[in-house]
Amino acid sequence: MLTVHFADGSQAPGTGADEQGRAAIWFDLLDPNADEVAQASEASGLDVPSREEMSGLKLSGRFRMGDHAIHLNVPTYVHAEAPVRKPGPLGFVLAADCLVTVRHGKSSAFDHAGTRLARASRPVTGIDAFVAILEATADVTTEVMEHVGEELAELSRKLFHDGRHSTRWLRESLHEVGRLESRQAHTRNSTLGIARMLNFICANEPDWIDTNAQARLATLRRDLDSLDEFDEQLTEKLQFLLDAILGFINTDQNEIMKLLTVASVATIPPIILVGIWGMNFARMPELGWTFGYPLALVAIGLSLVLPLIGFKLRGWL
């Protein structure tokens, strides 16, 4: 799908041609087909990157600066609407008069950026659109990380303050930690890609990017540095909860093994007595006793109870 944004903040599907003569400043391609890519390239005069080019891992292939445009690619970009879905790449082609974006998933950051441009009090440019997208991306990333932090805090409260938990609940908590770690890892990769892109732009400072936009990009870079520190805290919290859950599972397993060990040791004396009195010899004095059977039962019971009492006094139970 191709969406065109104009200098007055309005937007419409199409190729950039407008009956009212409005200037197109942002061509947004969402899961585009070949025809839409060709239309955006012709209308903007810029080369639109393919998905393979945007997914490259080499830094030299991610960022390229020409005489009139900058090519910027982020191999992993998180879409907040589908955190479980595998993130796709994101590509920018920024020129002095317009911007082309290529993405492969719906993102609330792009919707927020379009809303900000529509509310602008002055005509907007492609550079304004570029900065608005990055600022909205930082806002959405912050919300995702805060949500992960809230879920971790709730999981920590349940783990340490809600008493003893079943092994099944602990296993489910392991799955929850894994889900949160996966989401945070995708967010981390996305933030890292955006940060590297900002470092490239701030280091080169093209002449056609105005001072105000450069200042906003520099501020955004500092914000991403703060998000990086927040990410480290979340990663440490995830690791701590993972270790704690595994520790509780190991403790439960040790309790079960201890119980089985105590039970096996406590039942050895009764088994010995039953084995002795169950032997078939003609001369066994106990067979002629009047109270031999009750005494045997009492002896077997005492042989079972006395070891348990000893284990209890030693604190083994």
pLDDT at position 15 over 70:
no
pLDDT at position 81 over 70:
no
The reply to whether 198 and 305 lie within a common domain is no
Confidence of residue 22 (pLDDT cuts 50, 70, 90): low
The reply to whether 65 and 116 lie within a common domain is yes
The reply to whether 236 and 271 lie within a common domain is no
pLDDT at position 10 over 80:
no
The reply to whether 261 falls in a domain is no
The reply to whether 169 and 284 lie within a common domain is no
Give the tokens for residue 275. Answer: 């084995």
The reply to whether 216 falls in a domain is yes
The reply to whether 178 and 293 lie within a common domain is no
Name which of 146, 151, 97, 147 is nearest 124 in CA terms: 97
Note the pTM of the prediction, 2 decimals. 0.72
User: Helix, strand, coil % (nearest 5) of the chain?
Assistant: 60, 15, 25
Confidence of residue 83 (pLDDT cuts 50, 70, 90): low
Confidence of residue 80 (pLDDT cuts 50, 70, 90): low
What phi, psi does 25 have (nearest 5°)?
Answer: -115, -10
Q: Please report which helix (H) or strand (E) contains residue 136, including its range.
A: helix 126-161
> What is the model's pLDDT at position 201?
82
Beta bridge partners of 90: 74, 103
> What is the model's pLDDT at position 57?
56
The reply to whether 193 falls in a domain is yes
What phi, psi does 153 have (nearest 5°)?
Answer: -65, -40
Q: What is the mean pLDDT of residues 107-130?
A: 81
Strand-pair category, 24-30 with 11-13: unpaired
> What is the model's pLDDT at position 282?
65
Digit-coded pLDDT (tens) for 89-101: 888 888 888 888 8
The reply to whether 262 falls in a domain is no
The reply to whether 260 falls in a domain is no
The reply to whether 131 and 232 lie within a common domain is yes
Q: Please report which helix (H) or strand (E) contains residue 61, including its range.
A: helix 59-62
C-beta of residue 105 within 8 angstroms of C-beta of residue 87: yes
When the pLDDT of each residue in the chain is averaged and rounded to a whole number, the result is: 79
Confidence of residue 131 (pLDDT cuts 50, 70, 90): confident
230 compared with 43, residue with greater pLDDT? 230
The reply to whether 242 and 272 lie within a common domain is no
The reply to whether 87 and 120 lie within a common domain is yes
> What is the model's pLDDT at position 126?
83
Burial class (CB in 10 A: 0-12, 13-18, 19+), 17: exposed
Q: What is the mean pLDDT of residues 222-242?
A: 88
Confidence of residue 19 (pLDDT cuts 50, 70, 90): very low
Digit-coded pLDDT (tens) for 258-298: 777 777 777 777 777 777 777 666 667 777 777 777 877 88
Percent of the chain with pLDDT over 90: 1
Residues spanned by the domain of 308: 267-313
